[in-house]
Structure 1
């Protein structure tokens, strides 16, 4: 195991007796004890599919093109999840050992992806959108965006319930209020068994948006989703500043989310699929502001503030445990104990004053997410070695008085009849 993960542990000042409330120390025998370098090399090779316990992630330009902090995220997933789960890192690099085409043939993807014609500012994230649902549908498992810290084992987030035949849940996702009063499923963390009927239809709907186009501009006008209102997050409830983007472009960026919105309101008479019924009865939903963006909410969505807290020295010569030190300590303990993931996003670009992901991307800060003696280093260590004791509380979401569309999966509204719930 690398120095960042083990040898610095005594310097972190954390033992069984000093662990903060809500956390337990994970026995090392449950962890993957290889070094960072060994795990990084392993991630850049293909691995057989031996079960549905797969974690899927993707970076279109390849592992070496990821910022070091993103690489460390994925390495730590492997370390935390241990031998029962297989983390698959995929890319879209010709000739790559981990090219997505080793797992999915071109029929899963639109021409723009297959022919390397995607353009515009969002090629990377939208390439990830194109592959994520297909991978889960074919093989089963969990998708996590590469910019995600994992604080809780996937078994304890959702998988025990998904694989338990006595539980009704076949899928897990996080929801957030993307329109006032309307909870919306987002795509940064998705779990499901292989062949999941919702995941398959969601993927097919999103691929249809890419027919004949090379970027997401104007997705909100697409015939399949133009009947849906533009996304407009309830920033006041999210402790978020006003977003510095037009909602048309914001909605285009989240085109896959819009496809999910269409699907959860769809009843297809051709095969009997009932979106509202499926989401209500078979999808385990958790609040995104608790389980993914908790750290954003407590810092007012300021990447600069998050950077300041995590760059602060926690231990070592000359450290003064003053008010600033305590604020950083509280922030890290709160994150480790009370949220299952921490997703660092780059966008949509310009939406917020600052993004921690952008700061850590910059060459002068490439080591700041793991610098010895800092709170960032402590956060990294805790994400692997600590186990949460809290009980995760799912949401029972209801969407009353919404228009339910009775139509085929890829039929635009207006060409067939509709019903109202």
Structure 2
């Protein structure tokens, strides 16, 4: 990153002192990410990219470097795990990939199938890493804006705090693209057990599932509603996928979220588990829309519009601001002031909306990193600035349970 550009510093943010940043070159930071030290404590930021950090798209590498620049000198280690043969960051060096209590057979045998196999492999490493080591798991497409270290120290890491989990509150559920806890968290332990059971249900050959297709119909998820929405999808062959089918597709795609929702809404007296009470008292959830999707709120989930606005150059000194520049500036300032992060959307969502800011940054390599643009202003801030205040949690009200009884016992 070019640290000599004079971008406007919005109110509510401050420049991070250089002694608290890793100011080395991108190449040197990449070397550190590719050669992390052994795990010695809970302050780990976990990412996963199946083929390894070196093969990641350039814009997601920039995301990871920003996490490292801001957090490494505060004691955090940024780790991008993979399944690349011979890699020191191979997941098998951190977890037993042959243990059926840790991973389903499809992960062990590398037989996960379907259009989103890579995403589902990523889903399966999140709970095991947090349960064994603690820290935070984040998608590689998540830009961090707010002060994660201070929030961690004031919540999960503070024995006086009631909070044991950090995430985003997504309509009363948790956004799996960012989750943080100490090891052996009771919510994530049950979520992991349920997710493994969903994958272990027999398929046609009796060997367990190899994809998430149809998983949302499992009796193990009895009581969990399908994902909401009134979207339709036009397939490449012209077929229209109607809203009911799309909701089913989304629920299968985000099956980890469905498992989390069940555990959050479960009361199992024999196990001593009251999900609604635990979530209301122990989970610090930042509002997902305000906290991680604000660009999409401004642009109505129009990825092309977001891309065009972020690609604009800021007005030069003495130039009047155009209407489009005003909108782009308002988006960047709002994100930097009000959002804890920004999740670049990929996967199934692209079939719903056609394109997203993330998919277009991937398609137009380097477009997110052009000095003098609004995209670069946002990037610059995620490297060198921090928010003065912590985000407020969006309360989880204590709700009626989705289900009562044992976790794997159905109704």
Distance 1:159 1:128, change over 3 A: farther
**Further displaced range: 277-286 or 101-110:** 277-286
Q: Deviations over 1:64-83 (max 9, x none)?
A: 33210001100110001132
- Identify the residue that residue 101 of structure 1 maps to in structure 2: 92
- Residue of 215, 239, 245 corresponding to 1:219: 215
Per-residue deviation, residues 12-42 of structure 1 (Å, max 9, x unmatched) = 344xxxx221111111111111211111122
The equivalent of 1:113 in structure 2 is 107
* Structure-to-structure mapping, 1:216-255, within 5 angstroms: 216-233=212-229, 246-255=246-255
Matched, 1:201 2:190: yes
What is the total number of aligned residue pairs between the two structures?
389
**Native 8 Å contact 2:224 2:402 kept in 1:** no
- Structure 1 residue 319: Cα displacement: 6.6
Distance 1:378 1:410 in 2: 48
Alpha-carbon distance between aligned partners in 1 of 2:2 and 2:188, rounded to the nearest angstrom: 36
Give the unaligned 5+ runs of structure 1: 178-182, 236-241, 414-421
CA distance in 1, matches of 2:7, 2:258: 46
Q: Does 1:71 align with 2:64?
A: no
CA deviation string 1:307-334 (max 9, x = no partner)? 1111111266997632222222221111
Displacement after TM superposition at 1:244 (Å): 10
CA contact (8 A) 2:147 2:390 kept: no
Name which of structure 1's ranges 71-80 and 47-56 shifts more when overlaid on structure 2.
Answer: 47-56
Deviations 1:189-244 (A, max 9, x none): 11101111111111121122111111110011112114322111489xxxxxx979
Q: After superposition, give the CA deviation of every residue in 1:270-325 in whole Å (9 maximum; x if it has no partner).
A: 43222222112111122101111122111111111111111111266997632222
Structure 1 residues 243 and 370: alpha-carbon distance in aligned structure 2, compared to 1, 3 A threshold: farther
Residues 345-366 of structure 1: per-residue CA shift (max 9 Å, x gap)? 113141213211111111xx11
Q: Which residue of 1 is the match for residue 27 of structure 2?
A: 37
Alignment of 1:324-339 (within 5 A): 324-339=324-339
Q: Is the aligned partner of 1:146 residue 2:140?
A: yes
Q: Aligned partners of 1:185 and 1:233: how far apart in 2? A: 17
The one of 123, 126, 134 aligned to 1:132: 126
Q: Is the 8 A contact 2:229 2:247 kept in 1?
A: no
In structure 1, C-alpha distance between the alignment counterparts of 2:194 and 2:345, rounded to whole Å? 24
CA positional deviation for 1:379 = 1.0
Question: What's the secondary structure of 1:328's corresponding residue?
Answer: helix
Taking the aligned partners of 2:319 and 2:82, their CA distance within structure 1 comes to 42
The separation in 2 between residues aligned to 1:248 and 1:327, in whole angstroms, is 35
* 8 A Cα contact 1:299 1:305, kept in partner: yes
Shift of residue 154 of structure 1? Answer: 1.0
Normalised by the size of structure 1, how large is the TM-score?
0.87
Q: Any conservation in 2 of the 1:313–1:319 contact (CA below 8 Å)?
A: no
Distance 2:222 2:90 in 1: 34
Measured at CA, do residues 243 and 57 of structure 1 come closer, stay the same or move farther in structure 2, by a change above 3 Å? farther
- 2:351 corresponds in structure 1 to 350
Distance 1:52 1:90 in 2: 16
Tell me, in whole angstroms, the C-alpha distance in 2 between the residues paired with 1:5 and 1:156. 26
Indicate yes or no: 2:190 matched with 1:167.
no
Which one is further off, 61-70 or 243-252? Answer: 243-252
Say if 2:304 is the partner of 1:323: no
Secondary structure at the residue paired with 1:149?
Answer: strand
1-side partners of 2:146 and 2:104: how far apart? Answer: 34
Distance 1:102 1:142 in 2: 18
Contact 1:168–1:281 under 8 Å retained in 2: yes
Unaligned 5+ runs, structure 2: 201-207, 232-241
Distance 1:13 1:393 in 2: 27
Q: Separation in 2 of the partners of 1:400 and 1:54?
A: 33
Q: Secondary structure at the match of 1:74?
A: helix
Partner of 1:290: 290
Q: What secondary structure is seen at the aligned counterpart in 2 of 1:284?
A: strand
Per-residue Cα deviation, 1:345-403 (whole angstroms, up to 9, x for no partner):
113141213211111111xx110010122111111111121121244211222253444
Deviation at 1:261, TM superposition (A): 1.2
CA contact (8 A) 2:266 2:402 kept: no
Hey, what does 1:373 align to over in structure 2? 372
